[in-house]
Amino acid sequence: MRLAVTVSDDKKKNVLELAKKTFEEKHRGTVIEIETLPREILEQRIQDGNAPDLIEWDGSNIGNLLDWKIIQELTPLLEDGSFDLLDFYPSVLQAVKDQGRVGAIPVMAEVTGVFYNKALFDHAGITYPKENWTWDEFVKKARILNSYDVDGEVIRYGAYLVPRLLPVEPLVWSNGGAFLSEDGMRATGYLDSPETVDTIKRYLEMYHPLEVTPFEDVGRDTWISCFRHKKMAMYYDANWTIKPMGREQQEEFGVVMPPSMGEGPLRNIVQVYGYCISAQCQDVQLAWAFLQELASPHTESGREWAKHNLAVSRTVAEISGQQSDPLYSPFLKSLENARQGAFDVSSMKLWRFWNNDVFQEWIFRENRINIEERLRRIAREYDEMLHT
């Protein structure tokens, strides 16, 4: 018996290899084939009727995948009690469900937060950020923490804002706006709303004219050195940034959830990753058995996911130590009421018009971009694509 499983990167492949080894030892004669497939090739394979048995899920709209008969509904299989759905954090469970149907088993998650260098705050005599803080407080702290040389050039930034769209969306929600309607079917009146426009303008002001965040995209290979060497005092990104830190470095930093730009409390954004059983799978019971080995909090491979990202269940959070970790625990707490963003809800359709490259162009062109007009045009193009 053979079972084909997809993976997109080496980090996930290592967990799959662990599950494969254990599963094949338990089920003699079964071979698990792990295929490294980029998203585009996987989508083509599905269209061609040659889908793998287990499909890596990256957060795409689960209702669409079920409605389009791309994946199996897992609800009947869950009746065997192999997974305790209530053990998953609410936002994680919400991401894999649609109208009572479960389409994926989650394995790890990612949410945003603001890291801060405690020594720099102490030196400046500034209080650490606290939960339910505001965007105005964030800006004020960043401006105080900016440091300049004798020529007025910035030598340390008060903050680092990722020049990408993911961390902007929870700020938009807190300001009463949205990128899309909740069902992902409409952008007009949302992406181009006054609240969304205002949020994006205020985010871009941090680059220019305030100049409290650098223009460049500090990526996974360089961010920790910039932060550790005190080139920036606060860093707004996702929980993946904890992993590159050594234990002593982790003690140097604190973390707080993003500030709210509007009147209400912030609701964080979550990205959830997991696995689905393909609708083309010929041996659903075998695929289900392997999925249990791969994702259950009671297996070694199921717990291994927490070494790479945020735990999706309370059991794994406790076993992995994330629940008691001062850096991880605030992210876990935010999973209680976080929500998926517009790009996941639209299954990345919005990305064709509104993406990181477009956003970074706006940053570099400073105030020469008419934000209202650009967002109005993007919203119109998105709606036309969906409704024509």
Same domain (yes/no): 215, 258 = yes
Mark which of 292, 315, 335 sits at the end of a domain: 335
Same domain (yes/no): 255, 190 = yes
Mark which of 297, 318, 335 sits at the end of a domain: 335
Q: Which pTM value belongs to this model? A: 0.93
Same domain (yes/no): 225, 138 = yes
Cis peptide before 209 (omega within 30 of 0): yes
pLDDT given for residue 48 in this prediction: 86
Same domain (yes/no): 23, 143 = no
pLDDT given for residue 337 in this prediction: 95
Residue ranges making up the domain that contains 199: 112-268+343-387
Same domain (yes/no): 258, 298 = no
pLDDT given for residue 241 in this prediction: 84
Same domain (yes/no): 45, 140 = no
pLDDT in tens, the chain (388 residues): 899 998 888 889 999 999 999 999 999 999 999 988 888 888 888 888 889 999 999 999 999 999 999 999 999 999 999 999 999 999 999 999 999 999 999 999 999 999 999 999 999 999 999 999 999 999 999 999 998 888 888 888 899 998 899 999 999 999 999 999 999 999 999 999 999 999 999 999 999 888 898 876 555 555 566 666 677 899 999 998 888 777 877 888 999 999 999 987 789 999 999 999 999 999 999 999 999 999 999 999 999 999 999 999 999 999 999 999 999 999 999 999 999 999 999 999 999 999 999 999 998 886 678 999 999 999 999 999 998 7
Same domain (yes/no): 323, 381 = no
- Total structural domains within the chain: 2
pLDDT given for residue 243 in this prediction: 84
pLDDT given for residue 223 in this prediction: 56
Same domain (yes/no): 103, 211 = no
Same domain (yes/no): 10, 26 = yes
Q: What is the CATH number of the domain that holds 52?
A: 3.40.190.10
Same domain (yes/no): 263, 364 = yes
pLDDT given for residue 217 in this prediction: 58
pLDDT given for residue 229 in this prediction: 61
pLDDT given for residue 247 in this prediction: 80
pLDDT given for residue 228 in this prediction: 60
Same domain (yes/no): 246, 315 = no
Same domain (yes/no): 377, 257 = yes
